[in-house]
Amino acid sequence: MAEKLIKSFPVSWEELHRTSKALAWRLLELGPFKGLIAVTRGGLVPAAIVARELEIRLIDTACISSYNGSERGALDILKPSDIASDGKDWLIVDDLVDTGETARALRTMMPNAHFATVYAKPAGRPLVDTFVTEVSQDTWIFFPWDMEPQPTKPIIGLR
């Protein structure tokens, strides 16, 4: 039985900045927002870019852990947002919605917030209000903070 090929999708700093700015463009007419909740850790960089572009100064975090490296583990809410209440007029920003597990937890905590991600996979996509790029469920996104320049094999050599 052949092992399932996981597709690799590396994202550069420039691409993340450009796509996060595109997310801000999509959110522009939906505001104004009282503030922004950045989902740590992956949502911190996109949230900073969106906050800058929309001139949002009130920023809090929702600290949620569900991965240990590339291994999915149990969802652990390390710190909820205490100032967003039910999320009315608040914007939640994350880098990616994957299985939707984190998104479900955020929706439970802040059901009235607008939830936006840069990237979305099919299993989690229905849980976000706004996203920019959809990738397949079997794609692993390598964010710039996870990468160092190194030689790679051609795609055909990965089969």
Report all structural domains of the chain as residue ranges with CATH numbers, in order of start: 7-145 (3.40.50.2020)
Token pair 């796509």 is found at: 19
| Band of pLDDT at residue 22, cut at 50, 70 and 90 | very high
SS3 call for 136: coil
Closest-CA residue to 73 (of 101, 110, 109):
101
Active-site annotation holder among 60, 82, 94, 129: 94
Using a 10 angstrom Cβ sphere, with 0-12 exposed, 13-18 middle and 19 or more buried, the burial of residue 20 is: buried
CA atoms within 13 A on the CB side of 65: 7
Model pTM? Answer: 0.86
Average pLDDT, the chain: 91
pLDDT at position 155, please?
78
pLDDT (average), residues 54-72: 85
| 94 noted as active-site residue | yes
| 95 noted as active-site residue | yes
Active-site annotation holder among 76, 82, 98, 138: 98
pLDDT (average), residues 131-156: 89
Instruction: List Cα–Cα distances, 69 to 3, 19, 83, 140, 151, in angstroms.
Output: 20, 24, 30, 12, 21
